[in-house]
Chain A
Amino acid sequence: MAKNDLIGGELWEQYSNKVADRMNNPRNFGDLTEVDAQKMGGRLVIANEGAESCGDTVRLFWIVDEKTDTIKKATFKSFGCGTAIAATDMMAEMCIGKTVDEAAKITNLDVEHALRDQEDKAAVPPQKMHCSVMAYEVIKRATSIYRNVDISTLEEADIVCECARVTLQTVEDVIRINDLKTVEEVTDYTKAGAFCKSCIQPGGHEKRKHYLVDILARVRAEIERERHPERALTDDFAKLSVVKQIKAIEAALDEYIRPALARDGGGIELEDVQPGENGNVNVHLRYQGSCKGCAGSAAGTLTFVEQTLRKNLSDKIRGVVV
């Protein structure tokens, strides 16, 4: 959230003139039939993508010259919003004159670029980017029909964000290389999640196979394990030697807890580590500075300390204030 996000509601005013124009007057809509194909001496390909219950469907018609694999004519029909109609219209136009293999390389990003009025200004607002994805998918569908191959053989690597076409590998690499800690950072680096936001977490516009929150959590955990094998979250924490337990607790206090307490002029010291009931580990702590005698330190602060240690070390940990 920031200044430009607070009013919201902007949608149509962010469409480029080209999008609005193609919504009002699509150039390439309508059916193509076997009769048309015969007249043009080509093969008719009809591909369907999407479902009306999901709010978007598109049908792509191609007449392909089988000698050269060249698309001689392309038209579409669409049940969808203005962006879907404009993007599909542009996509159909971009297919014309290309070979099937060339057309199969057209992505939703190419379509969006072609719809821009100015090179540096997006043709549609972020939340409408996914409406152009169907235009891309239907080309893949048409190609698979023409080539008589399964569509999965044409799919690229695991895509996390359809709008920005970011792969799982890219997201993982970017998190690792740049040591990213938040989803916002991942979005800033990759553009994944910047558009319809479906891939950020479950419950968005559409269901996704991968979500950025999950990928981030997984990669972060991997990074932490690699960096601090001694802190590995394990049920065996209780079985570690007391020296190792103390080292791990001290490290966690330094990294997560002491800086937070220091902001309020407080501090905390590890006094002792004792085995507790049911395999628990009792961590004896002594407050320093302003935490000493503070009313909140008995309840709120202890909860924070305990939760942090449990999250990072072991859920067997019980905090005891000395």
Chain B
Amino acid sequence: MERIYLDNNATTIVDPAVRDAMEPFYCHMYGNPNSLHSFGIEVRPYLHRAMEQLYVGIGASDEDDIIINSCATEGNNTVILGFYFNLLKDTRKKHIITTQLEHPCVRESCRFLEKHGVKVTYLAPDREGLITAKMVEEAITDQTALVSAMWANNETGLILPIKEISEVCKERGVHLHSDAVQAIGKVKVDLKEVPVDYLTFSAHKFHGPKGVGGLFIRNGASLPPLLHGGEQMGGRRAGTVDVPGMVAMGKAMELANTHLPYENTEVRRLRNKLEDALLKIDDILVIGKRELRTPNTVYVSIRGVEGEALIWDLNQNGIAASTGSACASESLEASPILTAIGADKELAHTGVRLSLSRFTTEQEIDYTIYVISKAITRLRGLSTSY
């Protein structure tokens, strides 16, 4: 069976060009970049080039740092726990502001700090599913040390007004961290225009390999390392750098920016086609205004159809999508986004996310529309509530 991958917000296929770029660093140029000898020497230029690609890719200046690490989860932990050790512990600033939309790695890091006396505000989204700069401004107190707000949401694709939020933070002298995992390659991330202090990303979300990520730190801002014990990354992250991963991430970043126009025209067109077809079915709700979302994501709530049951049916037909339905998870709490936009409680278990990439074809979308319509008819036929 031909399979169709519409779960690109979970992870992506490695672009063959990226794989080609990393391949030589396994069996040929396998030196440790910290070595003095020729094996180390021959590797380093490639790392410099990867750095260059990453700096250009997100608009970092030479005074800034981009720490190569294992993933955005590591980066987010580094920032939030680092803030605790750096600031919160010893000064009167004991407040962090974040949002209810964040990935668990941000949310749980904050919860962890709450156990150590840090006050955390979790901003609830408005009826659009968004966080506004005004909400952030109103939550800032003279105790606030850090604001952590994602660039774009994984579930819905909703893009936060991160530029406005960054301006508020700058004005009030509060550091801003943004998890840009769902933004790179989908929307323009240019840190020359948006003054965030810390930014995190993972290569595997933009057609790079899993297990490598980046942490941007503006202008050498103070932040203690999470991993100690080596001089790598200027002492900011100990551990031998994943050389093939880093080279791959550089290449993937370059390609992400090259393909950004395609993402915003073709991928957007295909997403809209899928979304329009779904909206023709009765009692379907698409979460978030289309123009406020990343071009590849649609999150739908289908009345009477439990999310996991629908992705089961899609999977039976070779289509991969995902669900926030709690039946598959340990908690029964409805997604805060659904609650926030005022969706019925009954809809909490009906959410299904379809996320495209630049590798998605028109034929795949047509087939998906056909399969999903059939599955909805079948499951509604079984359903107590339709």
CB distance from A31 to the nearest CB of B (A): 10
- 14 extra interchain contacts, Cβ-Cβ under 8 A, other than A23-B312, A53-B346, A206-B332? A29-B381, A48-B384, A53-B345, A54-B332, A55-B306, A58-B384, A77-B383, A78-B384, A79-B386, A81-B309, A81-B325, A84-B306, A203-B331, A205-B330
Interface string of A27-54 (1 = CB under 8 A from B): 0010000000000000000001000111
Given contacts A85-B382, A204-B331, contact A55 B312 (CB under 8 A): no
Bound: A182/B334 CA distance, A: 32
B308 with A77: CB separation less than 8 A: no
Most buried by A among B327, B328, B348, B383: B327
Interface string of A183-208 (1 = CB under 8 A from B): 00000000000000100000111100
Residue of B305, B309, B327, B384 near A59 (CB, 8 A) is B384
Instruction: Check B288 for interface membership: any CB of A closer than 8 A.
Output: no
Instruction: Check A304 for interface membership: any CB of B closer than 8 A.
Output: no
The 8 closest A-B pairs by CB, nearest first: A53-B345, A81-B308, A52-B346, A55-B349, A81-B327, A77-B384, A59-B384, A57-B384
Instruction: Check B304 for interface membership: any CB of A closer than 8 A.
Output: yes
A57 with B385: CB separation less than 8 A: yes
Chain B residues near A85: list those with CB within 8 A: 309, 382
Instruction: Check A16 for interface membership: any CB of B closer than 8 A.
Output: no
Chain A residues near B330: list those with CB within 8 A: 127, 197, 204-205
Interface string of B336-353 (1 = CB under 8 A from A): 000000000110110000
> Size band of the B side of the interface?
20 to 34
Given contacts A53-B346, A55-B348, A77-B383, contact A82 B304 (CB under 8 A): no
CB distance from A13 to the nearest CB of B (A): 11
Interface string of B292-332 (1 = CB under 8 A from A): 00000000000011101100100110000000011110111
A12 with B312: CB separation less than 8 A: yes
Chain B minimum-CB-distance residue to A49: B384
Chain A residues near B346: list those with CB within 8 A: 52-53
Bound: A57/B334 CA distance, A: 16
For the complex, count residues of A whose C-beta is within 8 A of B. Answer: 30
Chain A residues near B331: list those with CB within 8 A: 203-205
B382 with A56: CB separation less than 8 A: no
Chain A residues near B316: list those with CB within 8 A: 24
Interface string of A1-23 (1 = CB under 8 A from B): 00000000001100000000001
Bound: A83/B87 CA distance, A: 49
Chain B minimum-CB-distance residue to A196: B330
Residue of B325, B381, B383 near A55 (CB, 8 A) is B325
Instruction: Check A160 for interface membership: any CB of B closer than 8 A.
Output: no
A82 with B384: CB separation less than 8 A: no
Bound: A78/B327 CA distance, A: 14
Given contacts A58-B384, A81-B327, A204-B331, contact A52 B312 (CB under 8 A): no
Given contacts A77-B383, A79-B384, A79-B385, contact A11 B327 (CB under 8 A): no
B349 with A52: CB separation less than 8 A: yes
Most buried by A among B328, B334, B381, B386: B328
Chain B minimum-CB-distance residue to A23: B312
A52 with B385: CB separation less than 8 A: yes
Instruction: Check A131 for interface membership: any CB of B closer than 8 A.
Output: yes
Bound: A26/B379 CA distance, A: 11
**Which chain A residues (202-259) contact chain B, with CB distance < 8 Å?**
203-206
Instruction: Check A266 for interface membership: any CB of B closer than 8 A.
Output: no
Instruction: Check A97 for interface membership: any CB of B closer than 8 A.
Output: no
CB distance from B91 to the nearest CB of A (A): 24
**Which chain A residues (53-90) contact chain B, with CB distance < 8 Å?**
53-59, 77-82, 84-85
16 A-B interface contacts by CB (under 8 A): A11-B328, A23-B312, A52-B346, A52-B349, A53-B345, A55-B306, A55-B327, A59-B384, A77-B384, A79-B349, A81-B308, A81-B309, A81-B328, A82-B308, A82-B312, A205-B331
Given contacts A29-B382, A55-B325, contact A82 B309 (CB under 8 A): yes
CB distance from A163 to the nearest CB of B (A): 14
Bound: A57/B386 CA distance, A: 12
Chain A residues near B349: list those with CB within 8 A: 52-53, 55, 79
Chain B residues near A84: list those with CB within 8 A: 306, 327
Bound: A11/B322 CA distance, A: 14
Bound: A203/B386 CA distance, A: 31
Bound: A203/B330 CA distance, A: 9
CB distance from A208 to the nearest CB of B (A): 12
Most buried by A among B306, B383, B384: B384
Given contacts A79-B304, A79-B306, A131-B327, contact A55 B332 (CB under 8 A): yes
Chain B residues near A24: list those with CB within 8 A: 316
Chain A residues near B309: list those with CB within 8 A: 23, 80-82, 85
**Which chain A residues (66-123) contact chain B, with CB distance < 8 Å?**
77-82, 84-85
Chain A residues near B325: list those with CB within 8 A: 55, 81
Chain A residues near B332: list those with CB within 8 A: 54-55, 205-206
Bound: A80/B384 CA distance, A: 9
Chain B minimum-CB-distance residue to A56: B327
Bound: A203/B331 CA distance, A: 7
Interface string of B352-386 (1 = CB under 8 A from A): 00000000000000000000000000000111111
Most buried by B among A12, A52, A84, A85: A52
Chain B residues near A204: list those with CB within 8 A: 330-331
Chain B minimum-CB-distance residue to A204: B330
Chain B minimum-CB-distance residue to A50: B384
